Amino acid sequence: MIPQLALFILQGLTPKKHEVKIVEEEYMQLDLDEECDVVGISCMTSNAYRGYRIADAFREKGKKVVMGGVHPSLLPDEALAHADAVVIGEAEGVWEKILEDIESDNLQQRYHEPNPDLDRYIPKDFSTLSKKRMYNLVPLQTSRGCPYDCDFCCVSNIFGKKIKLIPVKHVVKDIQTSGARNFIFLDDNIIGHKKYARELFTALIPLKIRWIGQSSISFARDLELMKLAKKSGCKGLFIGLESVLDTNIHQYNKLKSLEDTQQSIRKILKMGIMIQASVIFGFDDDTHETFGQTIKFLRKNRISVASINALTPYPGTRVFDKLKEAGRLLHEKWEYYDHHTVVFQPKNMTPLELQIGKIKAKTDFSKIFSIAERILGNLRMPVYYIAANLGYRRLAIAENRRMREFASHQLPDGSDGMDWRHI
């Protein structure tokens, strides 16, 4: 339910002679009989099939359909079976050309601008953002690209390893014109370019806003930068811990050791910035013991909130290629490639054991005792902490219930088929 930015960028790029309507299907009803000439659809892997069905329906009615987003960028041939054209990568530098080509009846199948000009300001009308979105946040972006190039991530494939920066003055203008107080930075790493981050945080201070974002844990190495971020209104950061096993940490070059990770967590929490840690289960070094070890680590280090996921081998990533080559993919039904559902054969357990272990870990982390225990490291932001944890607790309970219902109907003898107490 995190608000996205792509459609608002497209709207801002569209010449004024055209009328634009944005429909966010999570919150709004889609009208397949809408009077329009062109339909633009942005989708990720897990909702690609839904995007394809919508595209097919509009094309049957004679509408031109252009698809973009992560999944069509990685699998343009697949998307072109449902669309008239596909935008690979970023829309800047190609969207206006697409509209011109449609008007001149010269639409091409593929459009790609590998080095778009981000210095140009693109106005964004956030007035249509649904009030139902997560914490009423307005989306912003300051950079694209990521230098880490992890096996399970496709960001560098789409945006490159070099960090491309949007002028700070443009970010400030977006904030001022939005009239909002609460923002989310969608950057893959808000501090990826330290000099730029300092300039950005300094510019945010007089605006008196509140914001959350995503950062590498190396953020903790720069005390002055952390102080600037806090002063600029930073309330929390999504940080990819991924694994608490030293072997996995070394593999992805996040930090030198698990001890470095723990020290960094303490520094960030002490600054009064909440940490939403991303944890992934399903790496080849993971065993049945990994679930309990991970939750023990998260609780011991007073992690504010945790996003606990199953490893998802997205197309376009090295982990997808490796698992496919080894015959370990269970299927390629994209709607199940969603962080929550196990879609491959793990090395040291069955897919069902990984599925249940992940859900059990999420449930344990969200228990009331765990929330009360971890608040000791989050006393500088108790209201945000409690609200976030109660929200995640509801999600964990719902996922646990769905898994038990599935187990009672699908597994032998109408039982869970596994001893949940020892997963």
* 290 belongs to a structural domain: yes
Split at pLDDT 50, 70, 90, the class of 16 is very high
| Listed range (142-146, 220-224, 292-296, 354-358) with the worst mean pLDDT | 142-146
> What CATH number is attached to the domain comprising 20?
3.40.50.280
What pLDDT was estimated at residue 192?
A: 87
What pLDDT was estimated at residue 346?
A: 96
Q: Which of 90, 95, 93, 94 is nearest to 144 (CA)?
A: 90
Fill in the amino acid letter for 306: A
278 shares a domain with 158: yes
What pLDDT was estimated at residue 1?
A: 67
* Dist. CA 423–CA 419, nearest whole Å: 7
With a cut of 80, say whether residue 146 has pLDDT above it.
no
249 shares a domain with 108: no
365 shares a domain with 330: yes
* pTM as predicted: 0.88
* Dist. CA 298–CA 22, nearest whole Å: 39
| Listed range (106-115, 146-155, 160-169, 291-300) with the worst mean pLDDT | 146-155
Residue carrying the six token digits 């930090």: 255
Q: Which ranges of 121-210 would DSSP assign to H, the alpha helix?
A: 155-159, 168-178, 194-204
88 shares a domain with 153: no
Q: Residues 350-395: pLDDT tens digits?
A: 999 999 999 999 999 999 999 999 999 999 889 889 999 999 999 8
Which pair of tokens denotes residue 273? Answer: 């910035």
Backbone angles phi, psi at 26, to 5 degrees: -60, -25
* 226 belongs to a structural domain: yes
What pLDDT was estimated at residue 131?
A: 66
258 shares a domain with 155: yes
* 422 belongs to a structural domain: no
What pLDDT was estimated at residue 414?
A: 41
- Dump the DSSP string for 89-134: S--TTTHHHHHHHHHTT---SEEE-SS---SS-----GGG--TTSG
Neighbouring residues of 79: CB distance < 8 A, sequence distance ≥ 6: 48, 52, 67, 71, 72, 86
What pLDDT was estimated at residue 419?
A: 43
Most confident of the ranges 2-6, 328-332, 409-413: 328-332
With a cut of 60, say whether residue 25 has pLDDT above it.
yes
With a cut of 90, say whether residue 423 has pLDDT above it.
no
| Listed range (24-33, 163-172, 320-329) with the worst mean pLDDT | 24-33
167 shares a domain with 92: no
Beta pairing partners, 139: 184
* 131 belongs to a structural domain: no
Mean of all residue pLDDT scores within the chain: 89
Which pair of tokens denotes residue 37? Answer: 């000439």
With a cut of 90, say whether residue 134 has pLDDT above it.
no
Q: Which of 144, 66, 76, 140 is nearest to 107 (CA)?
A: 66
What pLDDT was estimated at residue 3?
A: 78
13 shares a domain with 50: yes
- Dump the DSSP string for 203-224: HHGGG--EEEEEE-GGGGG-HH
| Listed range (200-209, 257-266, 271-280) with the worst mean pLDDT | 257-266
Can you tell me the mean pLDDT for 84-97?
A: 95
Q: How many domains does the chain have?
A: 2
**Which residue segment(s) compose the domain that 365 sits in?**
137-410
* 127 belongs to a structural domain: no
With a cut of 80, say whether residue 194 has pLDDT above it.
yes
* 20 belongs to a structural domain: yes
What pLDDT was estimated at residue 418?
A: 43
For 355, half-sphere exposure in the C-beta direction (CA atoms, 13 angstrom radius) is: 20
Can you tell me the mean pLDDT for 262-287?
A: 94
* Dist. CA 78–CA 73, nearest whole Å: 10
* 345 belongs to a structural domain: yes
Split at pLDDT 50, 70, 90, the class of 284 is very high
DSSP 153: -
With a cut of 70, say whether residue 251 has pLDDT above it.
no
